[in-house]
Structure 1
Amino acid sequence: MPPSRLETSRPVTGSPESVLDATGSAGAGPGDRGGARRWFAETVGGLSATYWYLWTGSLINRAGGFVIVYLTIYLTTVQGFSPSRSGLVLGLWAAGGAIGTLAGGVAADRIGRRITLLVAHLGGVLLLVALAFAQGFWVIAPLTFLFGLVGEASRPAFQALMVDVVPAKDRLRAFTLNYWAVNVGFAVAATLAGLAAAADPKLIFLVNAGTALAPFLFILLKVREPHRERPAAAPHAPVERAGIGTVLRDRVFLGFVAVNLLISFVFMQHLSTLPIAMTGDGIPAQQYGLVIALNGVLIVAGQLFIPKLIKSYDRSRVLAVAALIVGLGFGLTAFADSVAFYALTVLIWTVGEMLNSPSNSTLTAALSPAALRGRYQGVMSLSWSVAGFAAPVLGGYVQQHLGDEALWLGCGVIAIVAAAGQLWSGPARERRAEALQAA
């Protein structure tokens, strides 16, 4: 959903820097009107119209994203699948996503961000409609695999396009704003999905299909393919002709991906093993939806303040602290046995998620050469897809055979390892990012 011309990249408001020059420093809090205006200008000012088309499409799409919230419960309660078969279906969705992220990243670089996104979004709409009427494991499983493939193919193209249309100095807040929109949508979806499922389980898929049309239409009607420069190769920058192989030989970047895989595995438990743990404690599915909606509510309330909070800190240290907080939240789930306790754990790991997401996105962008952004974003997205496969399969196995306590305490240990990995690999990443910026 990129702008390809200067006109489409023109800011719709003055840049935050120009606003601050005119009104003073941003030290005032939002308690006075001038301080609130400065904070608002710092947060949303200076971003292109194309960015806001992408942002709006993402918000609408996520607000109807019922399937990701209720798929596990739908498979076990409506379709009558066993926990192991439900986990396998979720694993197939993630396996399709793993292929889709790599294919989408390559396609975004080779044939363009726009066409990749249009094909992926339209394919997702058609598959959601098919899933609404699908019956039985052997029909639902392959459709879910294909849905994962086309759905995740859009992720690297979308991320690369965001990097294309947002200057480096504005990317932290741009990614934060988009993450905020995603979680506004998630909070809405988690709250309404239970009502839709109670009325008719097919609505989970059909409403999702309807809202998935929004980004397709915005991209089709309002977004042009951006002009992408082809810079000369720098000493530390992969060159485009090397393709995906160059990304896979980039040890610094792959180290970052590996650490992200660990924390992603922990985080993805909230969609696979957490609902099983809560229903096992006698908590109704609707209350799971409300508890998990707290994740989106907290992000909506606080995420826009995160860029100013963390901008002066080393990114690797922020990511390490985020991993520890995520580990604390999931580790405490071992002792949860009530709605209130589960809600507390969700609030804790959500704080870690809020710190992790913008820092992770900006660092991925900083480590991605301009000519290979789609491929780099695809490999990073692959870590989430692999985690999405491993979380229900490995997490479900541990939960079934070793119990909830072993699962959640193990998640805490994995998060500690991830935090150590962020600190250990941070200096090399920053040197690489500086070399690419100087190229």
Structure 2
Amino acid sequence: MSVGRLRRSARESVAGLPRAFWWLWASTLVNRLGAFVATFMALYLTLDRGYSASFAGLVAALHGLGGVVSSLVAGVMTDRLGRRPTMLVAQVSTAGAVALLGFMEHPAAIAAVAMLVGMTSNASRPAVQAMMADIVRPEDRVRAFALNYWAINLGFAISSMAAGLVAEYSYLAGFLGEASLTLLCAVLVFLKLPESRPEKDAAAVAQGGPEVGLGTVLRDGRFMGVVGLSFLISLIFTQGSVALPVTMGAAGFSPGDYGLVIAANGVLVVVLQLPVTRFIEHRDPRRLLVVSALLAGYGFAMTAFAGPLWAYALTVCVWTLAEIVNSPTQMGLVVRLSPVHGRGRYQGMYTMSWAVASLVAPLMAGFVIDHFGAGWLWGSTGVLGTVAAAGYWLLMRGLREGDTAAGPAPAAAPATASAPPSVAVAVPEAAPAPVTALPAEA
């Protein structure tokens, strides 16, 4: 591909998105640049504080449990209070909790504050995803979610390298650095991002349509099917940071070898996310989700046969491609099935599937490896990928272009005079018609 075509492709990848999206994108990048706790918590507890691996695993589980609890609460806050207030509360709270964690000495205090960090750091996700759906046109959402995912991985790749150097000097500096960047993210949201929550028009209020509650989400069979499949997929992907280092360590590889192999994941996401998204943007999401589930399951299953270091890196490349395809496609499906005035609750339930997986995956990996061996664990990822692929195929078989989740019918409301210009695009979304802009099913 020529340089001119690469430039044209890059321009097309970023063209047409509203200014508010780019401020939201920038806040995501800043937030991920400070990712220190999730990356170095185990090393901090075992190497710096001298605690056992079991205690480190307990703290990681509590961190995940905090995310499970906050997902639903944050989803309700996103719909009731708004996207912007929820993000501000979550980010300011995260900054305080992370800074506090760096000063904790007693094991019980460390565990409690780690759970608090898990709650606060996960609380902003439903609001971010709901705001992105509000301000981006339906036909641009897959691209927008891909760009946001790209920012997450770019920030994480940079922070991992920088945090490794900081950790050699002082773990406390890493905690305070993450707290500072998270607080900077909150400042950016406060100064640059207006509220985007769609308001119901007078006609919709007068009709007294049913409100969207958590019960509405739980009764939405198709959407809960997506949540269940998301849990299976995230259970597979989480093994990259849970079971893969254990397996490589047992095979005689050093932590540096694992770092080199897993770095391929971040590099490939940064390099391939945008061109691959341009390729899949208007293709059948049903087939994309099926293919990505199979690539994820069998990409990890290949680890059972890996011997040399390059073979482990090859498996990472396979499931990274699955990750690149699955993430924006599944997010587009989640928004498609979410009613406009219930996006926060729907996004909160979807976010919870990843939080539960982060809690279950370490327990699952430890039990299977200890009792049956790593080969059985990697074989089970292939089974999970196959089940997820079949689930996507069946779940989306009858999904037509205009289908949405259960809940109050969105009303077409004109933009109010008080609405900021940068979020005016969120209002036409209330009409059912734009949903047809999403890729048609086969």
TM-score by length of 2: 0.86
Match of 1:315 in 2: 285
User: Unaligned regions of 5+ residues in structure 1, if any?
Assistant: 1-29
User: Larger deviation: 152-161 or 287-296?
Assistant: 287-296
- CA contact under 8 A between 1:240 and 1:371: conserved in structure 2? no
User: Larger deviation: 282-291 or 88-97?
Assistant: 282-291
Shift of 1:334: 2.0
1:31 aligns with 2:9: no
Match of 2:429 in 1: none
Q: Distance in 1 between matches of 2:84 and 2:61?
A: 28
Shift of 1:168: 0.9
Match of 1:346 in 2: 316
- CA contact under 8 A between 1:164 and 1:228: conserved in structure 2? yes
Query: Would the alpha carbon gap of residues 74 and 280 (structure 1) be closer, same or farther in structure 2, given more than 3 Å must change?
Result: farther
Aligned mate of 1:216, from 168, 171, 186: 186
Match of 2:427 in 1: none
Shift of 1:247: 0.6
1:142 aligns with 2:112: yes
Query: Would the alpha carbon gap of residues 434 and 108 (structure 1) be closer, same or farther in structure 2, given more than 3 Å must change?
Result: closer
User: Larger deviation: 253-262 or 395-404?
Assistant: 395-404
User: Unaligned regions of 5+ residues in structure 2, if any?
Assistant: 410-431, 436-442
- CA contact under 8 A between 2:63 and 2:118: conserved in structure 1? yes
User: Larger deviation: 220-229 or 151-160?
Assistant: 220-229
Map Cα deviations across residues 163-205 of structure 1 (whole Å, 9 max, x no partner).
1111111111111111111111121123333222222232332
Shift of 1:394: 1.8
Q: Distance in 2 between matches of 1:135 and 1:170?
A: 48
Match of 2:150 in 1: 180
Match of 2:272 in 1: 302
Q: Distance in 1 between matches of 2:247 and 2:46?
A: 14
Aligned mate of 1:364, from 334, 348, 369: 334
Aligned mate of 2:247, from 267, 273, 277: 277
Corresponding residue SS for 1:272: helix
What letter corresponds to residue 284 of structure 2 in structure 1?
D
Map Cα deviations across residues 213-244 of structure 1 (whole Å, 9 max, x no partner).
232111011111125132778xxxx9662411
Query: Would the alpha carbon gap of residues 285 and 363 (structure 1) be closer, same or farther in structure 2, given more than 3 Å must change?
Result: same
Alignment of 1:242-253 (within 5 A): 242-253=212-223
Alignment of 1:367-386 (within 5 A): 367-386=337-356
Identity level (%): 42
Q: Distance in 2 between matches of 1:373 and 1:434?
A: 12
Shift of 1:399: 2.0
Shift of 1:292: 1.9
Map Cα deviations across residues 332-379 of structure 1 (whole Å, 9 max, x no partner).
222335433322221111010001001011111111110000110000
Shift of 1:126: 1.0
- CA contact under 8 A between 1:191 and 1:293: conserved in structure 2? no
- CA contact under 8 A between 1:79 and 1:136: conserved in structure 2? no
Match of 2:259 in 1: 289
CA RMSD in angstroms, aligned pairs only:
2.2
Q: Distance in 1 between matches of 2:122 and 2:281?
A: 29
Query: Would the alpha carbon gap of residues 239 and 399 (structure 1) be closer, same or farther in structure 2, given more than 3 Å must change?
Result: farther
Map Cα deviations across residues 40-60 of structure 1 (whole Å, 9 max, x no partner).
332101212211111111112
Shift of 1:84: 3.1
Shift of 1:89: 1.6
Match of 2:161 in 1: 191
Q: Distance in 1 between matches of 2:395 and 2:84?
A: 34
Corresponding residue SS for 1:433: coil
Q: Distance in 1 between matches of 2:259 and 2:104?
A: 24
- CA contact under 8 A between 1:87 and 1:272: conserved in structure 2? no
1:394 aligns with 2:364: yes
Query: Would the alpha carbon gap of residues 343 and 70 (structure 1) be closer, same or farther in structure 2, given more than 3 Å must change?
Result: farther
Shift of 1:37: 4.6
Query: Would the alpha carbon gap of residues 239 and 330 (structure 1) be closer, same or farther in structure 2, given more than 3 Å must change?
Result: farther
Q: Distance in 1 between matches of 2:61 and 2:351?
A: 16
Match of 1:203 in 2: 173
- CA contact under 8 A between 2:212 and 2:341: conserved in structure 1? no
What letter corresponds to residue 277 of structure 1 in structure 2?
T
Query: Would the alpha carbon gap of residues 81 and 177 (structure 1) be closer, same or farther in structure 2, given more than 3 Å must change?
Result: same
- Number of positions where the alignment pairs a residue of Structure 1 with one of Structure 2: 405
Map Cα deviations across residues 279-331 of structure 1 (whole Å, 9 max, x no partner).
33343334433332221110110100122211342212101110111112211
Map Cα deviations across residues 391-424 of structure 1 (whole Å, 9 max, x no partner).
1122222122222111111112111111111111
- CA contact under 8 A between 2:212 and 2:342: conserved in structure 1? no
1:76 aligns with 2:46: yes
